[in-house]
Amino acid sequence: MGYIIWVNDVKAARNLEKYGCVHYISRRMHYVVMYLYTEKAEETLKNIRRLSYVRKVERSYRNEIKTEYTKAVPDQTQFYGI
């Protein structure tokens, strides 16, 4: 399960590695993308929210976005000679 954690201090955000798998840390926008085990997510998030450098925790909906596309419109490039 993916989560986006907004932080105040990026250096302190490296400590989040002990709670799960840190995928990305944005230094400019001050957020961390990390993955947690679904079974332990609630109790881990409770511990993460207690940290002084954490502003907000959001769940990532990336795995729910449709990634398989269908080609409903015919290819128009053959008419233009490409």
pTM value? 0.76
Cβ atoms 34, 23 nearer than 8 A: yes
Residue 71 — pLDDT band, cuts 50, 70, 90?
Answer: confident
* φ/ψ bin of 81: left (φ > 0), alpha (ψ from -120 to 50), beta (otherwise): left
Quickly list DSSP for 18-78: GTSEEEEEETTTTEEEEE--TTTHHHHHHHHHTSTTEEEEEE--GGGS-------SPP-GG
> Is 80 exceeded by the pLDDT of residue 73?
no
pLDDT tens, position by position, 44-66: 999 999 999 999 999 998 878 88
Domain segments of the chain as ranges = 2-55
Which residues sit opposite 5 in a β-bridge? 32, 57
Summary mean pLDDT of the chain:
89
